[in-house]
Amino acid sequence: MQFSVLPTPRIHFGPGALAKLPALAAAFGRRMLLVTGRQTLRRSPVASRMLDELRRAGLEVACLEVEREPSPELIDEAVALGRQTPFEVVVAIGGGSAVDAGKAISAMLLQRDPVERFIEGQPGFTPHDGRKAPFIAVPTTSGTGTEATSNAVISRVGPGGYKRSLRHAAFVPNEAVIDPELMTSAPPELTASSGMDAFTQLLEAYLSPFASPYTDAVSCSGLVHFSRSFELACGAGAPDVAVRADMAYAALMSGIALTNAGLGIVHGFASSVGGLFDIPHGTLCATLLAEATRENIRQLRASGGGEAGLQKFANASRILTGRATGSVADDCDRLVELLEEWQQQFAFPRLGEFGLRESDLAEIIAATRSKSNAAPLDEAAMRRILSARV
């Protein structure tokens, strides 16, 4: 057995953890950039009070709001501002887009070139040297797990667009403050889509050919917490801090798992589709996961050597449903059925609602890569997944 584990941030988890933020930030210096989502401070009374707390702690706070997934232009503009007033620490409070933006700004403040030069897969790509400003991540949704990952996703949407990563092991946040009280105000639609992102990451990392006993333990632990609170968080349990803590923990585990094991075809499509169409990331995961799981199980059954993968799909099914049928095949089928039930229950939209058409599939498939998928998928298999959700 051989595996390695990438760094994790210092994690502060639990109700009330946000109260630690002023002291954590002040330890790095006085000049701070605060990156938030457009609605973060308006939606969460807990988060809105923090701005005053930071200033009372003697921090000079400049604010930046992020509305969508960060673009290279947004990162470059923020970095230019930081060169005029050098920031000693970057703090991001918000969903995955806000945290990714903060992570990317932190990574670029000590660089002179534009961010696109360091984005994976871009022409003229140059590896980043890892120098950054200190960064603190404070998620307000339970989805991407970016508070524990070493990459920031940067997007340019439209013809010739892309959705790719700025990545270095040093980009893992210095501190991650995960307070489930921040998440109780997230609306049901956002809770469902972000939750499905976390679940997709847990399942894809668990099934990855690069999984290890370490990532299996992390993924399964996340799946247990997700299974008992996902539907509650999307409904009557939304204001329950314990329910939100389960979801926050699942998202955190998904970030640790994906960093060390990689992700599968759903996230492969998230990159290729996300560069062409303005589809929220969690929504894309939610609408594709049932079909992707069906196709992966089909390919593992057809391969004749996919028993280990099928066992893992069956185990995930048992964790989610709380029961075993006694048959690996039946448990795998039950997993697909459950995902289809969620698709109906939460009305996850089809890709066509965002403008994607069958005529776009060839371009998408040609641009899709997924070396960490549970099973090798050819063009026909990828087309089946997408066509079922157009």
To 10 degrees, the CA torsion angle through 277, 279, 282, 288? -60
Evaluate if residue 21 carries a pLDDT over 90: yes
pLDDT band with cut points at 50, 70 and 90 for residue 84: confident
CA 273, CA 284: separation in Å to the nearest integer?
A: 9
**How much of the chain, in percent, has pLDDT values that exceed 90?**
86
Q: Express each pLDDT in 309-337 by its tens digit.
A: 999 999 999 999 998 888 999 999 999 99
Which two three-digit tokens encode residue 326? 């006694």
CA 131, CA 143: separation in Å to the nearest integer?
A: 27
pLDDT at 44: 72
Any residues with CB less than 8 A from the CB of 286 and at least 6 apart, and which? 192, 193, 196, 197, 200, 342, 343, 346, 348
Domains and CATH numbers, the chain: 10-183 (3.40.50.1970), 188-387 (1.20.1090.10)
Which two three-digit tokens encode residue 324? 């075993």
pLDDT at 37: 86
Q: Other CB atoms closer than 10 Å to residue 236's CB: what's the count?
A: 10
What is the value of pTM for the model shown?
A: 0.95
CA 331, CA 187: separation in Å to the nearest integer?
A: 32
pLDDT at 45: 76
pLDDT band with cut points at 50, 70 and 90 for residue 30: very high
Place of tokens 């699942």: 250
CB 175 within 8 A of CB 12: yes
Q: 85 exposed, middle or buried (CB, 10 Å; 0-12, 13-18, 19+)?
A: exposed
Query: H-type helices in 322-354, by residue range?
Result: 328-345
φ, ψ (nearest 5 deg) of residue 152: -125, 130
Q: Express each pLDDT in 208-267 by its tens digit.
A: 999 999 999 999 999 999 999 999 999 999 999 999 999 999 999 999 999 999 999 999
Evaluate if residue 157 carries a pLDDT over 90: no
pLDDT at 305: 79
CA 253, CA 247: separation in Å to the nearest integer?
A: 10
Any residues with CB less than 8 A from the CB of 8 and at least 6 apart, and which? 148, 172, 256
Residue type, 141: T
CA 386, CA 289: separation in Å to the nearest integer?
A: 10
Evaluate if residue 2 carries a pLDDT over 90: no
CB 92 within 8 A of CB 140: no
CA 241, CA 176: separation in Å to the nearest integer?
A: 18
CA 43, CA 140: separation in Å to the nearest integer?
A: 10
CA 172, CA 178: separation in Å to the nearest integer?
A: 15
Evaluate if residue 299 carries a pLDDT over 90: yes
Q: Express each pLDDT in 33-54 by its tens digit.
A: 999 987 777 677 777 788 889 9
Evaluate if residue 81 carries a pLDDT over 90: no
Evaluate if residue 185 carries a pLDDT over 80: yes
Evaluate if residue 361 carries a pLDDT over 80: yes
